[in-house]
Chains A and B, each alone.
Chain A
Amino acid sequence: MFNAFLQIVRKELLGAFRQQSDILNPIWFFVIVVTLFPLGIGTDPALLARIAPGIIWVAALLAALLSFERLFKDDFIDGSLEQMMLAPQPLTWLVSAKVFAHWLLTGLPILLVSPLLAVFLSLQENTFWALFLTLLIGTPILSLLGSIGVALTIGLRKGGVLLSLIMLPLSIPILIFSTMAIDAATFGQSYIGLLALLGAMLVAAMTLAPFAIAASLRVSVS
């Protein structure tokens, strides 16, 4: 069973490295969106540092949305999704592998470019670490929640906008807790409690979301 998990992750990574624009474009989009804010509201470092957490998290949300399309869509079109649903392994387990691979390809790169954005937005060092930790815990939750939305809308012709309508309201708690943690760090307060809350949400999402994803796929791919 673990082998099946690894095989799916391996296949996803291989496919992604052959089609690099799929991984790079959302990251690129993420950086551009963040760059637009200083251009739009001015370059006062104090102001930028104040609104940076919100900007980065909203941009991360939007970038994640862009990348969800490729999570199941290609597989749906070429038929490998239905084959995966017919594999003699629990579907919840296989979709977990898909989501994990998706996070490796979209969440992880966002983490990697976050130092660059910290420089752009004049973040202090401890604020940056709070940002980094919230992204580390928060982006997997985004991947899991988004996968539910993708799984529900995959069979629809115009699923893209619908996906954002479904998914964005559900991701509000992550946005709130993450930016609260970063704010706390800015004011030199402890934010470990908020991280623990995010961690609890991650654990809950990891246990429950695969069932919702699997059930949604059984509805959409029929």
Chain B
Amino acid sequence: MFQCKNLTCVREERVLFNNLNFTLAPGEILQVEGPNGVGKTSLFRLLVGLSTPYSGEVHWQQQNIMLDRDSYYQNMLYLGHKSGVKPELTALENLHYFHHLFNPKVKFDAWEILTLVGLAGYENVPTAQLSAGQQRRVALARMWFSDCPLWILDEPFTAIDKNGVQVIEKLLIKHAEKGGMVILTTHQDLLLPPQLYKKLTLQKPAAGEQYV
């Protein structure tokens, strides 16, 4: 179970959002929405523990993530705005690296996964030479071999074509059916049936609460 308790985010003395609460149970997908600049990315960076909240806590399995990072990170996959893919390395080398660093226990066939994400034939090209969408697919390929129950995806569909979006959405549903959890933002509407996912709309703080 994933819980967000009274989370307040402050950037340069300005409150982005305050007292945010939500809970995510196994099998749930949560879409976070809101206009630009409302703090979606800042929220995600708090949820994964990259930044420290001004106040409030994020809990994974009843444990504050800041106190036990290692066990949280064994269960969490985060794909951010920046893909984390090394441009000098090939798609295969990138996957190999991610595999050993994040999910060393999973057995998988990298060639097969690259085919699944539509990169067949590009396995040994340095990713710098791939298109933006293809580079994104290299990063997204991690979802196919991740054994983490919690996925936190910040704008996963950027630069991905319609066909690709459908493939990924199917994967999200499959992940949720297996008891996984997904938190994501996207500017496009999800094509999923509405009963399959929850929505959280971030709002700007009220006029009197814009500053700490």
Contact = CB atoms under 8 A, between A and B. Distances in A.
- Taking the complex as a whole, does A directly touch B, i.e. does some CB pair lie under 8 Å apart? yes
A73 B89 CA distance: 17
Task: Specify the main secondary structure of chain A where it touches its partner.
Answer: helix
Interface in B86-103: 86-89, 93, 97-98, 100-102
Contact of A79 (B76, B81, B98, B102): B81
A86 B104 contact: no
Given A15-B89, A222-B52, A78 B104 contact: no
Interface string A181-222: 000000000000000000000000000000000000010011
Contact of A80 (B45, B84, B104): B84
A193 to B, nearest CB: 41
B99 to A, nearest CB: 9
Contacts, number: 73
Contacts of B87: 78
Interface stretch (A3-11, A31-39, A98-106, A108-116): A3-11
B203 interface: no
B124 interface: no
B74 A7 contact: no
Interface stretch (A56-64, A87-95, A130-138): A87-95
Interface of A: 3-4, 7-8, 10-11, 14-15, 18-19, 77-80, 82-90, 218, 221-222
9 contacts: A7-B100, A10-B97, A14-B89, A78-B87, A83-B84, A86-B49, A87-B101, A88-B102, A222-B52
